[in-house]
Amino acid sequence: MAEATQQDKETWESGPLPALDDRLLASDLVNEIEFLAARARSLGSSRANAMLASLDLKVRSYSVLAMACSGTEPSQRELADFLRLDPSQIVSLVDALEQRGLVLRAPDPRDRRSKVIRPTAAGVELHQRAAAAVRVAEDTSLAPLDGPERDQLRVLLRKIAFG
């Protein structure tokens, strides 16, 4: 099989999905919630990563930047817990954003042994552009759903994710 071209990859990541054989769609797996959630996440992350690429971000680095810009002043430990990532992954992500001048570590007023992550002005500006790109990716992923279905999906996913 020939290797996919960059254009093919970009179309797959951000455009319509390739048609699947009906025999695959007839498998029991297509009704398993964990599979469906994993596939939807994979498709959504691929689309978001494609949209964020021009900003030199990926979904994980965007998530850290978004939380830094949220006004919540999360600590690295809180980011790890909230994003369900290993603390060492958070350190790497924050290091990369800090090297780009997008975030900074500051003493945590709640615990002087800890650092909170705050955005810089450049981080806030990039976050605004990145959030717009993520909305485009989300609109592409959720195109089969109407407005009320999207709202219902958000409610259900929040319930699963946060109880």
Give residue-wise pLDDT tens across range 75-111.
999 999 999 999 999 999 999 999 999 999 999 998 8
The vertex-63 CA angle with 14 and 31, nearest 5°, equals 55
Give pLDDT, residue 7. 41
From CA 8, how far away is CA 26, in angstroms rounded?
Answer: 26
From CA 5, how far away is CA 119, in angstroms rounded?
Answer: 37
Its pTM stands at 0.84
Give pLDDT, residue 8. 38
Give pLDDT, residue 26. 85
pLDDT in tens, 111-135: 888 999 999 999 999 999 999 999 9
